[in-house]
Amino acid sequence: MTRTDVAFAAGDGACAAWLYTPTGNTTTPRPVIVMAHGLGGVREMRLDAFAERFAAAGYACLVFDYRHFGASSGVPRQLLDIGRQLEDWRAAVAYARTLDGVNAEKVVVWGTSFGGGHVIVTAAGDRRIAAAIAQCPFTDGLASSLAIPPLTSAKVTARAVRDLVGSRFGREPVTIPTFGPPGSTALMTSPDSEPGVRKLLPDGADLPTDVVARFALQIVKHFPGRKTRDVRCPILFAISENDTVAPARRTKKWAARAPYGEVTLYDAGHFDIYVGDWFERNVADQLAFLARNVPVR
């Protein structure tokens, strides 16, 4: 395979992306998988591992960073806004359909964690999507908010309000870590959050791991799971039974409403299925789903 740096227009800026192209002669346009990360994540945090497996199986992959993150444009940096990220998804899908050697009717959307929720919304709004994969997806803002200890939730909310008020007066953004140890002021503070995220970071990389704090006020109001019944393509929900970030019970409830939904369950935590043996099992299940529903010819 080859990996090329590309970029595409999105809203008022541009998203940076990697384009994976399988090698080998073929006159048949290939399916393409559009991929993006979750809460504050960027491509370098193990998305390359998944894209390499998919490309090895013959799929083109477009792996992008949201605006305000990674190599993409946008100020302030680390601004996580749900509406803007969903706009980036629509732009990524539109761009993927224009790529040489790609079948515009065989676009698959793949998202993980918070991006898994974006995949549900994107597939529900675009009937041309061929298939979707939502990995350990965020589906229910209330369930995820209730999983946060009350004191931590109060501290996070206070920082988010301070950031929002300051933004109205043109002040510099107030940021908040995306993860931290239990008891810290961060968006994810379960015992497995800090070690789990650190396993995704490339060795020696100095990647930002915070976001603009006002985002925390959006979480409790966001319910991408409500859109599952509107997804008219095959969709795979890869669910970790011991998920402390996106509680599995609510995710399974929403997944059951998808007309063409499939579920794979793992006796693992939210971050386990990115690495090691759980990754191997997870990616094998995803490749089997793709082979059934969007085969490479």
144-171 per-position pLDDT tens digit: 999 999 999 999 999 999 999 999 999 9
In the sheet with 13-21, reading across from the earlier edge strand, the strands are 2-10, 13-21, 60-64, 30-36, 102-112, 131-135, 235-240, 261-266
Question: What is the structure's pLDDT at 204?
Answer: 81
Tell me the Ramachandran region of residue 175: left when phi exceeds 0, alpha when psi lies from -120 to 50, beta otherwise.
beta
pLDDT tens per residue across span 4-31:
999 999 999 999 999 999 987 667 899 9
Q: Which amino acid is at 101?
A: G
With beta carbons less than 8 A apart as the criterion, state whether 209 and 45 touch: no
Record the pTM.
Answer: 0.96
pLDDT tens per residue across span 248-262:
999 999 999 999 999
What's the mean pLDDT in 62-84?
97
Classify residue 206 by burial, with Cβ atoms within 10 Å: 0-12, 13-18, 19+.
exposed
State percent of the chain over pLDDT 90.
95
Question: What is the structure's pLDDT at 25?
Answer: 65
Q: What is the mean pLDDT of the chain?
A: 96
pLDDT tens per residue across span 172-217:
999 999 999 999 999 999 999 999 999 999 988 889 999 999 999 9
What's the mean pLDDT in 28-51?
96
According to DSSP H, which parts of the chain are helical?
47-56, 82-96, 114-125, 141-146, 150-168, 193-198, 216-219, 248-255, 276-293
Question: What is the structure's pLDDT at 150?
Answer: 93
Give CA separation, 265 vs 111, 269, 278, 285, in Å: 17, 11, 11, 10
- Whether 73 has a pLDDT exceeding 70, the answer reads yes
Which residue has 């008219």 as its token pair? Answer: 232
Question: What is the structure's pLDDT at 212?
Answer: 97
Enumerate the β-bridge partners of residue 9.
Answer: 14
Question: What is the structure's pLDDT at 238?
Answer: 98
pLDDT tens per residue across span 109-150:
999 999 999 999 999 999 999 999 999 999 999 999 999 999
> What domains can be seen in the chain, in order of their start residue?
2-142+223-293 (3.40.50.1820)
- Whether 279 has a pLDDT exceeding 90, the answer reads yes
Segment holding 237, helix H or strand E: strand 235-240
